[in-house]
Homo-oligomer: A and B are copies of this chain.
Amino acid sequence: MQTLNQISLAETLKARRERLSQLIDLPVILWSGRSSARNFPANTYPFRASSHFLYFAGSPLENAAIRLEQGKLTLFMDDASPASALWHGESPARTAIAHQIGADAAYPLAQLQTKVEDCATVLVQDPGTHEWQTQVLNRAIAIAPEAKGIDLALIHAIATLRMSHDVAAIAELRQAVAVSIAAHQAGMAATCTAKTEADVKAAIEQVILANNMTTAYTSIITVHGEVLHNHHYHHELQARDLLLVDAGAETASGWAADITRTWAVSGRFSPTQRAIYEVVLLAHDLCIATMKPGIEYEAIHLTAARVIAEGLVDLGILRGNPTDLVEMDAHALFFPHGIGHLLGLDVHDMEDFGDLAGYAEGRTRSDRFGLGYLRLNRPLQAGMLVTIEPGFYQVPAILNDRDRREKYGDVVNWERLAEFSDVRGIRIEDDVLITATGTEVLTVALPTNIEAIEQLISGN
């Protein structure tokens, strides 16, 4: 058996383009993108190449393009100017990079213009590159979910390929996961001395930086887990708070991890925190236990919804039959988001395609409050990496909404719920690889059970 070390980057990329050429018989040009300016042009954000480019070029080259046709790879980029060497040091030449990534030919960017006929492409996020794409191809390039014709055909082909990770991708994903696990452990260990959310963030991101990686997305590190996309870190930690941490690293070539843990600031969950946490953890465990190729991801989501509804009935927070409660979306009062999403080069993998990757052909988002936020709706298949991230939140905008309070007035025991006021937000998120026969939880080394988490916090 060939081990990973024996598979060169060039071989991996060759296999990817050959699979692409089996799916579509079109020449393709993919652009890497440009860095964007912060304050003034010379002060740029760290460059992050387009994920589609990274998948086929393997390297975060700035201001570059590749052409793929019948398994052949052509690289287009300019060599650095002599003045650039003064400020940025010697850069590898185009020919050296071409060799490393196994390109069949390499040209300056000016040549790109001459090889564009009938080429499909994918829109790159930064507007400067979008304009460049439009000029070079001399036609409009639509935002991916609105793409038509050859661009749409390309999107479906890329989605098919990137949906199922190859050995090299999985090796990168494992690296991102390993560093993310160490980062969460550092965050847990730092909690006892941390004064603010920012202190824990610093401990977590220090690990990511020390491994020469970046965060794959803006970390969520908050005692207000009920604010789902919370990017503030100024709150002081109080002993009765739960801290929700959703943070993941990204390798140099762009592969992401996405992990959430929720822990007690004091190092000891209160009885109410423990009770809800166990409900969320049971949903998490049962979801993963049922996953294997062929299972519908929506069914996994509904499993989580049912387990959460059952747990809340058992705790006296919801009233009624769990199946009925899920059908009326009562679970979504407390679990308003989807059970997870694809993970790969993007933290929501291929979300620039809208739902063209996440949803099987012919499927569209549900109108139901309890299903509409699901980002993935297709059968699981081997090689897919998905997150499983059930949660419980007391979101004021949901629970104080007059229409919802009326609709769900009878099924929620509001007085009982008030006893759980120290549980604002809990989420447990793991990264689950679908194997031929079941799953491998890549993030399994980071415990989810309360006892082990309490030990990591206290350092015992």
Contacts and interface: CB of A to CB of B under 8 A. Distances in A.
Contacts of A211: 198
Q: How large is the interface on A (under 10, 10 to 19, 20 to 34, 35 or more residues)?
A: 35 or more
A212 B196 contact: yes
5 contacts: A40-B125, A40-B346, A46-B231, A89-B224, A196-B210
Nearest to A337: B87
A315 B44 CA distance: 38
Nearest to A45: B45
Q: Pick the most buried of A38, A45, A126, A336: most chain B CB atoms within 10 A of its CB.
A: A38
B212 A205 contact: no
Interface stretch (A168-176, A381-389, A394-402): A394-402
A296 interface: no
A218 interface: yes
Nearest to A347: B43
A45 B36 contact: yes
Given A89-B230, A351-B40, A202 B210 contact: yes
Given A39-B48, A89-B224, A127-B131, 19 more contacts: A38-B125, A39-B50, A39-B347, A39-B351, A39-B352, A40-B348, A42-B351, A45-B45, A46-B218, A85-B396, A86-B395, A87-B227, A89-B227, A127-B127, A196-B210, A198-B210, A202-B205, A206-B209, A212-B233
A225 B383 CA distance: 43
Contacts of A205: 202, 205-206, 209
A273 interface: no
A234 interface: yes
Given A88-B227, A224-B89, A40 B397 contact: no
Nearest to A83: B397
Nearest to A401: B82
Each complex incorporates copies of this chain amounting to 2
Given A40-B351, A86-B228, A233-B212, A202 B206 contact: yes
Nearest to A350: B40
Contacts of A346: 39-40, 43
A229 interface: yes
A46 B233 CA distance: 13
Interface in A337-363: 345-348, 350-352
A202 B209 CA distance: 5
Given A82-B397, A86-B395, A229-B87, A42 B348 contact: yes
B82 A43 contact: no
A128 interface: yes
A231 B252 CA distance: 13
Contacts of A41: 125, 351-352
